[in-house]
Amino acid sequence: MANPRVSVIVPAFNAEVFLEECLASLAAQTLEDIEVICVNDGSTDSTLEIFERYAEADDRFTILSKPNSGYGDSLNKGIARARGEWVAILESDDFIEPDAYEVMVAAGERHGVDLVKADFFLAWTLGSYHRRFRWCDACLSGLVWPQCDREVFFRKPSIWSAIYRRSFLEAGDIACLPTPGASYQDAGFSFRAFAKAERVFLVNRAFVHYRQDNEASSVNSPAKALCVCDEYAGMLEWLDRHPELGGWLRQTTSRMRYDTYLWNYERLAPELRHDFLRRMVEDFKAEDEAGIADPELFASGAWRYRRFIEESPELFEVMHARATSGDPGKLKTFKAYYDAGGAPYVARALARSVSDRITR
């Protein structure tokens, strides 16, 4: 049997609610020469039965069933089984437009690249609302060179809205961290892929409908609060194994870490933020000591804000708690205070705010 054009990996753990829509969207692809590798990660609901139903009806669907070992290990095992020229990933609660793989494969072969990335939709089940994310846009589309267009590293990791040449993944040592129970494992995979790719093609169309209903699954889990830190440690360890890659990639991880850590801090449950902030400060200081944090890569004001977090974490913690307890716009106000006069100015602003409340 000839190898298919695309191998689509679908990792799933207790995914019965949305799995039918996911698999139906793959069965309907206009590029029919695909295989779908359904990875059952020790599910205890009807996920395996749904996979079996599709595999019985369509021989392009195969099943890899194993004990639960997490998202990263599921992806790695699925990719290891893949036979296609290209590899794609679709998460079990998402679905994809019918011509997605036809368009992306054509672009990859036309331009001779190893990685094709497309935009995606944010999707909410309630109200059937779908909004384009704008990962790719008029300013970032077509052929790009990651070494020059570093913006690809700073946008949201979304490894499921792309296709990758299988030979490129194998030769480039590109995989997920297999840590059981971890989260954010797409961050490391995305970084490694862009780091190894000489050129990529960005399609200015959205294909995957990325469901938001389960977005907060790791927000309240103490066990997962620091998983994002492990991802960045893994990126640096991977760079150690690949000394042929330039030092600019270490600098790039510093800016990526700042963006990701702030995003993670803001979405964590309040009781988990203190410990995460302590780790954030430790990692920022370690980057400074290693000389890999480059102010030129940071957006306007972001470098000063990063230094504020390092130098005054207690004040940052109070500021953030005050700013997010009511009007979210207060956080921007406190950032403006910091830009205007540094930590002392923020402290005075907080003191005035407390004084005003007491004297009302």
Top mean-pLDDT range of 30-39, 259-268, 332-341: 30-39
pLDDT at 225: 83
Instruction: Taking residues 286-294, report their average pLDDT.
Output: 96
322-333: average pLDDT: 63
Q: What is the pLDDT of residue 332?
A: 60
Query: Is the pLDDT confidence value at 182 over 70?
Result: no
Q: What is the DSSP string of 107-159?
A: HHHHHT-SEEEEEEEEEETGGGEEEE--SSBTTB-EEE-TTT-THHHHSPP-G
C-alpha pair distances (Å), 317 with each of 63, 278, 346: 47, 10, 12
- Which residues are 89's β-sheet partners? 9
Q: At what angle do helices 329-359 and 313-324 cross, to 10 degrees?
A: 90
Whether the predicted pLDDT of 75 surpasses 50: yes
Chain region(s) in the chain for CATH 3.90.550.10: 6-211
- CB proximity list for 354: less than 8 A, separation 6 or greater: none
Torsion of CA 136, 139, 140, 145, to 10 degrees: 180
> Average pLDDT of the chain?
89
pLDDT beyond 60 at 235: yes
Q: What is residue 348's predicted lDDT score, i.e. its pLDDT?
A: 54
Quick one: pLDDT at residue 281? 98
The residue-averaged pLDDT of 290-298 equals 95
pLDDT of residue 359: 38
- What does the pLDDT look like over 185-221, one tens digit per residue? 899 999 999 999 999 999 999 999 999 876 545 556 7
Q: What is the DSSP string of 47-69?
A: HHHHHHHHHHH-TTEEEEEE---
**10 bridge partner residues:** 38
pTM: 0.89
Query: What pLDDT is stored for residue 224 in this prediction?
Result: 80
Query: Beta partners for 122?
Result: 131, 210
Q: Residue 355: is its pLDDT beyond 50? A: no
Q: Tell me which fold the domain 6-211 belongs to.
A: Spore Coat Polysaccharide Biosynthesis Protein SpsA; Chain A (3.90.550)
Report the 10 Å Cβ neighbour count for 40.
25
Output the pLDDT for position 285. Answer: 98
> In this model, does residue 12 exceed pLDDT 70?
yes
Tell me what pLDDT residue 319 has. Answer: 86
Mean pLDDT across the stretch 151-155? 96
Helices (H), the chain: 19-27, 47-57, 71-81, 100-111, 151-154, 166-171, 185-196, 227-241, 248-267, 270-290, 302-311, 313-324, 329-359
For the chain, percent of residues with pLDDT exceeding 90:
76
Q: Is 17 helix (H, G, I), strand (E, B) or coil?
A: coil
Q: Is the pLDDT of residue 149 over 90?
A: yes
pLDDT at 353 over 80: no
**What is the reported pLDDT for 357?**
43
State the pLDDT confidence band at 328, using cuts at 50, 70 and 90: low
Query: Is the pLDDT assigned to residue 90 strictly greater than 90?
Result: yes
